[in-house]
Chains A and B, each alone.
Chain A
């Protein structure tokens, strides 16, 4: 089977993906898959999705030539796909609109979501308000403390934020708790999963909803420069912004696809969040993929400056793209990401999200090794206003 035609009927991307959940959720996942199959072929549903993306999100998002920064780096030209300009400030909204429309189609009046940094929580609370649904967001207690502005945003939008105090009190535990809620309230509730991970059909449907990013690039790049880029670069936590921009490029074999994981304090330190770079295959949160785990198969704690990349697993399609050789995956450390962050602020007047700063930093690393007529397209997946407290703290400044 052609890579781009995956997953198979049971959600497999090669050996990865699948459905690994308790029996209680199987029927709900089957129902979701069936409903999605109908919806994607329903012109009215897709037209409404596109309408919302245009008028509510503000798509298409522009592509911007970071000329001054490219000149400074002295090599390849860097272009930015401006997902940071979307409503709510990141790519997450593309997916939450798609899933909320599915929830409405299925007659579900209550939606739940997990969130790490709070971006997916905010995007979920936003669409719940937009479509008049009850919204409950699970967030690790540590993250609630670290990301208080986003917690307040969600509350302003009418959502209930539930701090999760089990395990490491971060994103993975929030996901566990959201799953537990779903098991308990499966008939009334739609689970808006935030990344291209989880049990089938989530990796597929999140990818499809996020693919608008890459689809736009496919026409925008030739319009701007007369051709496709030499490489597409995106950060990878769960991997939704990356798969969104990679997927439409899979058949464009001359375009390199580069995913950038969070290297934290460095791969050698063990303190990172880079399962594709340094993990091994396993099963977590309903799917098989690369994981950060110890010798007993227990999931280990991850470390990254960016809460949005602080996740021990990665979407199954990325695992497959890695094994098949179609995409390459690298890791960028915290300090390198910080340099990417500051560079973009100073050279281009754009404050990027710390997640996206990993992709920027890798572009900055390879651009000088390339010629000036080569093109790097970086997915600027979100804006960095949410991160200014973290950055200030690292610089020893109290706001």
Chain B
């Protein structure tokens, strides 16, 4: 059983939703990333999305764009990200890591080479924002034991959900609003209405992300979704903290969200 599947199974037994924070690898600098990963896991993160920095993050808002730029100042590449995961795995073998990013760094490394290296490093899932199911080589990832996570959005027609279902594994990620990461204006009732259909069609847990700003909102989403993804808000915490307080501030924020989600469960 994959680490992601196992995590969701355990949470389901406890009637809890997964908390999935996102950080960009190498932000604010490469030396801090592994420490941050451990801090997030300790604070109650069930799965961690680790962003692979890219020069042209087309689907991201200004906050995550800046995180990518900070990491790229340190020349953090895909190989470095895999090395960070491998280092994290030396002491944590339970918290799934999902790499999230854009096609080109993986394309450039080669899909099969990447799949093998990622599996060896201890990566559990891959989400490439700009590779829709039609262009996906999910089979290569599956063969390496890596889950392929896809996005679904409010603009996705129902017929496409089936297409995603054929290729998706681990969980599916419902983008809760139109727009880039970090946007505002989330309509909870509308989002809640979409989840049961997706869950049934895909036969996978459904995570909700984009636009989740605080513990209260996370708790509200945890009532109907299988996972809550928080990205820009976490990255802001990194951006606004002095380097020596980054891990402490992130831990405190994530622990607060976790507590609110558990209290509401």
Chain A interface residues toward B at CB < 8 A? 10, 18-24, 26-28, 166-167, 172-173, 176, 179-180, 183-187, 280-286, 288, 291, 293, 295-300
- In the assembled complex, the Cα of A281 lies from the Cα of B59 at a distance in Å of 21
Beta-carbon contact of B151 and A23 below 8 Å: yes
Partner of A23 from the list B57, B108, B156 (CB cut-off 8 Å) is: B156
Give the contacting residue for A167; candidates B56, B79, B103; CB below 8 A.
Answer: B56
Q: B134, A19: Cβ atoms under 8 Å?
A: yes
Residue numbers of B with Cβ under 8 A of A are 53-62, 65, 69, 72, 75, 77-79, 102-109, 129-132, 134-135, 150-157, 160, 175, 178-180, 183
Whole-angstrom CA separation of A167 from B155 in the bound complex? 28
Contacts of A283 in B (CB 8 A): 102-104, 107, 130-131
Contact B178 A23 (CB under 8 A): no
Would B130 and A291 count as touching, CB distance under 8 A? Answer: no
Interface of B is mostly: loop
- Chain A, residue nearest B72 (CB): A298
Given the interface pairs A166-B62, A284-B104, A298-B54, the reply to whether A21 lies near B155 with Cβ below 8 Å is no
Contacts of B102 in A (CB 8 A): 283
Contacts of A28 in B (CB 8 A): 155
Which residues of chain B are near A186, meaning CB under 8 Å?
Answer: 155, 178
A180, B180: Cβ atoms closer than 8 Å: yes
Q: For the complex of A and B, list the 8 residue pairs with the smallest distance between their C-beta atoms, beginning with the closest.
A: A297-B108, A296-B77, A297-B105, A184-B179, A22-B59, A283-B103, A23-B151, A27-B155
Asked whether A286 lies within 8 Å of B155 as measured between CB atoms, the reply is: no
Whether A285 pairs with B56 at a CB distance below 8 angstroms is yes
Interchain CB contact under 8 A, B56 and A297: no
Whether B132 contacts A20 by the Cβ 8 Å rule is: yes
Cα-based distance from A293 to B155 in the complex (angstroms): 32
Minimum Cβ distance to chain B for residue A181 (Å): 9
Please give, as numbers and ranges, the residues of chain A lying within 8 Å of B105 by CB-CB distance. 296-298
Contact A183 B180 (CB under 8 A): yes
Contacts of A185 in B (CB 8 A): 178
Query: How far apart sit A283 and B60, CA to CA, in the bound complex (Å)?
Result: 17
In the complex formed, the residue of B with least CB distance to A178 is: B58
Q: Which of A22, A281, A299 contacts B129 (CB 8 A)?
A: A22
| Chain A residues in 8 Å Cβ range of B61 | 180
Return chain A residues, CB-CB under 8 Å to B155. 23-24, 26-28, 186
Closest to B80 in A: A296
20 A-B pairs (CB sep. < 8 Å): A10-B134, A21-B58, A23-B155, A24-B59, A24-B155, A26-B132, A176-B56, A176-B58, A179-B58, A180-B60, A180-B180, A184-B180, A282-B104, A286-B130, A293-B104, A296-B78, A296-B105, A297-B105, A297-B109, A298-B53
